[in-house]
Structure 1
Amino acid sequence: MTYKKGQELELTIEGLAYGGRGIARQNNFVFFVEAAIPGQKVLVYISRKRKDFAEARIKEVITQSPHFSDPKCEHFLHCGGCKSQHIDYLEQLNQKKNQVQDIFQKQAGIKNFNVDQVVPANPIFNYRNKMEFTFSKNRWILEGEPRDVKSDFALGMHIPKRWDKILDINSCDLMPSIGSKILNYVRDLARESNLKPYDQRSHIGFLRYLALRFGQNTNELMVNLVTSYEDLDSLVPFVESLVDEFPEITSVVNNINTRKADVSFGEREILLFGKPILKEKLKDLTFQISANSFFQTNSYMAEKLYEVILDSAKLKGDEVVYDLYCGAGSISLFLAQKAKFVFGFDIIVSSIENAEQNAIINKIENIDFNVANLDSYFQKHKSNKYPNPDIVIVDPPRAGMHKKMTEYLPKLGAKKIIYVSCNPSTQARDTQILQSHNYELIKLSVVDMFPHTPHVETVGIFEKSK
């Protein structure tokens, strides 16, 4: 049967693809259905047709899924940040497990692959310790709004697949509830103060991002106002009003990003109130985190993740450990409590500075942090500078390891590699390379750090074949 764009047909949703779209099949042809959930029977129309698959959108739900759950968020239909919020949580876990298994079977080439362990999240709302919201003069106009409605100021999230339009957000149930109060106050205060939002098209305007960091276990709160240029005459009274309204705030910084790049990482930072860092506790360790440092965005589940890593490492106390992409040193410091010595490596200078300070705060001395571009660092600097590792931890960004690093990693000679990943697709890709160098994947755990989203954290244990 031939399918074409605009055609309507009935489909039964079998599961979720990685990324959150529903999967259906008809006549051996695959359909990816936006916002569909397993168990639904839906009437759809084809929005995009390709040779081997089609994309479709729901016109009508004919039979509702037993896994359907009323979404909590008022912005669910438009935001796209919590794409799975309309699926009951146990089924979310089941689908994530199935997705990871499918990815490793297809992309890593491991037949009959099974996930060994799934660690569920608790809590499943208000868990994020960092959120970023975008200022814009191009607000997304919702269906049903008057044609002449004002749309020249927004503070919220990008509309899916639109770089230039921002959905005004009143609340976000992924972060602590005080975050929503700050979000709304900042929006109103910015308007009253006549502070202009940045225009992504013309690159004119002052306010670019509002970034919030929460110490889930310390009750500290950092506000990062990202602007396109320095203007302390405008920001100082703004911040004074903000901290008067919210005495819970312990730090306010101003990152200045003069570049056109749509990122919240500034070229320089100005401290406007309180301390330049936020403190967070994970179990018995205390961490200092700066505005731009990487830190796991779910403190509650970070503790569970590190338990999985520690259990996988099975440290006896005489091991040398490398922690690659170490960020602010959280994994490194957990391991150093049970290892002989830990070396941490990361390219972000502020992260390494935080990591070194975290070691001092926690009185851990058997550790050494290094600024390193891991795409080429060991090829150029290894020699005899560091003792050979017994265990290597890698926790790369979503893009995975650079191929040069993946190829070089086996040359470090570690008996065990523990690969932590927020992207199972790139982890599966790197698994192929590691297995070609005689490292066998013996266990994979799924840790649900991000409920109601398509994202998941995985921990793979690789051991060198004898």
Structure 2
Amino acid sequence: MRRKKLPEGAFKAEVTGLSHEGRGIAKVEGKTTFISFALPGETVQFEYSNRKSNYDEGMAVEVLEASNLRANPPCEYFKLCGGCSFQHVSPNEQIKLKEETLLNHYQHFGQGIQPEKVLKPLVSDNTEHYRTKARLGVRYVHKKGKVLVGFRERNGRFLAEIDHCKVLDKSVGTDLRILQELIISLESYKEIPQIEVAVDDQRTALIIRHLVDLSPSDLEKISCFAKAHGFWIYLQSKGPDTIKRLYPDANETPKQLSYRLDEFDVQINFEPNDFTQVNREINHKMINQALNLLEVSPSDTVLDLFCGLGNFSLPLARKAKYVVGVEGDEAMTKRAGENAQQNSIDNVAFHAANLFEDISKHSWIHEMRFDKLLLDPPRAGAEKLCSQMDLIQPKRIVYVSCDPSTLARDAGILVKEKGYKLVSSGVMDMFPHTTHVESIAVFEK
């Protein structure tokens, strides 16, 4: 297909709205145009970046009339790096826009429903260096004669040339050059495509993906680097099952990363490639809010679906009579059980099951009656589960979501088809400076 020629020069536009991914929306010659770095109420000069049959895309090059939403981005790489998309909006306004997005999704994807009460947003005390999990790209660029480590550029084609990151945990984010210098010192510097970062309460782990066997010299350099900077280093040659700890020695203790939930006297151990919430502060607040909204009592039996490592299950077990956690990943389910044992929690059981399929075939759904239900699905949501809610029949449901569109869709099923009320809902700022919307909803029958 022949690509449409882009108009040359800058064009004027009045921005009237904001898309869910954070771009300004304008009508230019009657055609919808999405403009990066533009905000509602602004008049901007923009240049076209793409033209399609139904809409165009562009990038603001000058703000002629600024919105009161606008803020100075804290990061010098904001317009280049694709890691953040909302730094030109003040943190307070970011959360307001996310709340608006959530309520709009209920209207459009939830069959017109709205919560009876909008919950106060959960926000961070600090919106910088909050990110404890990240996958960083690595690439040697011959023309620059250097290794780049970081996130992709906004267009997604190349890695952004950045030396630090304002949202990544300080142990890594304050100086990415140390990673660049490590990789360029290796004999295999062209065969390292990515580094995954995982931070616990005390340590920072790096998983170095390598496409060729590492020489003894490279292994020694990586070990010395880890010792000098206090990192745990893991190597990954192929799939996730090949991840092995290089430094400190795998037999040394502690053997796993961990984080504590002091208010529940719970410690959760995890491997660096396990799913954990990226924002430690918001995770603590989220767990407390979820348990309060679920109104758990000592006589309740609670079902926790998509339970992962037990992030909600184990705190729930401190308050409930009994908890059943179900997760699709067998390895995660096993570690959840080990976490329960380590914390001397014996009123919880974990099961592995595909929760996107019919759950009626599983024994745990028939063995007991569940008073309360907690859901924390991935971005795909829990449509199949919500359609089978008659099998569970909980009196109260708390649904934690990382995608407002699938939450709204599932809420429509629960309210319109299963007879629940959408009691309350609100947003949680798990990812400041991005348009990602984390939310929570309460249903009651």
Q: Distance in 2 between matches of 1:173 and 1:36?
A: 21
Trace 1:61-80 onto structure 2 (pairs within 5 A): 61-80=63-82
Structure 2 residue corresponding to 1:278, chosen from 253, 257, 261: 257
Q: Distance in 2 between matches of 1:387 and 1:380?
A: 14
Look up the match of 1:106: 108
Contact 1:131/1:211 (8 A) holds in 2: yes
Does the alignment pair 1:126 with 2:104? no
Q: Distance in 2 between matches of 1:128 and 1:421?
A: 18
Look up the match of 1:321: 302
Does the alignment pair 1:153 with 2:134? no
Structure 1 residue corresponding to 2:198, chosen from 207, 213, 219: 213
SS of the residue aligned with 1:338?
coil
Structure 1 residue corresponding to 2:271, chosen from 257, 265, 290: 290
SS of the residue aligned with 1:166?
coil
Structure 1 residues 450, 196: closer, same or farther in 2, change over 3 A?
Answer: same
Amino acid of the structure 2 residue aligned with 1:24:
A
Does the alignment pair 1:412 with 2:392? yes
Contact 1:101/1:115 (8 A) holds in 2: no
Does the alignment pair 1:439 with 2:420? yes
Q: Distance in 1 between matches of 2:43 and 2:19?
A: 17
Contact 2:188/2:214 (8 A) holds in 1: no
SS of the residue aligned with 1:223?
strand
Structure 1 residues 383, 71: closer, same or farther in 2, change over 3 A?
Answer: closer
Structure 1 residues 434, 384: closer, same or farther in 2, change over 3 A?
Answer: closer
Q: Distance in 1 between matches of 2:212 and 2:175?
A: 22
Contact 1:130/1:212 (8 A) holds in 2: yes
Shift of 1:333: 1.0
Q: Distance in 2 between matches of 1:384 and 1:180?
A: 44
TM normalised by structure 1 equals 0.85
Look up the match of 1:371: 352
Look up the match of 2:251: none
Contact 1:252/1:271 (8 A) holds in 2: yes
Structure 2 residue corresponding to 1:269, chosen from 222, 226, 243: 243
Single out whichever of 8-17 and 351-360 deviates more from structure 2. Answer: 8-17
Amino acid of the structure 2 residue aligned with 1:16:
L
Trace 1:89-238 onto structure 2 (pairs within 5 A): 89-110=91-112, 115-137=118-140, 139=141, 149-150=143-144, 153-162=147-156, 164-180=157-173, 183-197=176-190, 205=191, 207-215=192-200, 218-231=201-214, 233=216, 235-238=218-221
Shift of 1:29: 5.8
- Structure 1 unaligned residues grouped into runs of 5+: 140-147, 198-204, 259-265
Amino acid of the structure 2 residue aligned with 1:269:
I
Aligned residues: 431
Q: Distance in 2 between matches of 1:237 and 1:388?
A: 56
Say what the alpha-carbon RMSD is for the aligned residues: 2.6
Structure 1 residues 32, 228: closer, same or farther in 2, change over 3 A?
Answer: same
Contact 1:229/1:257 (8 A) holds in 2: no
Look up the match of 1:450: 431
Residue identity over aligned pairs, in percent, reads 27
Structure 1 residues 384, 442: closer, same or farther in 2, change over 3 A?
Answer: closer
- Structure 2 unaligned residues grouped into runs of 5+: 249-253
Look up the match of 1:85: 87
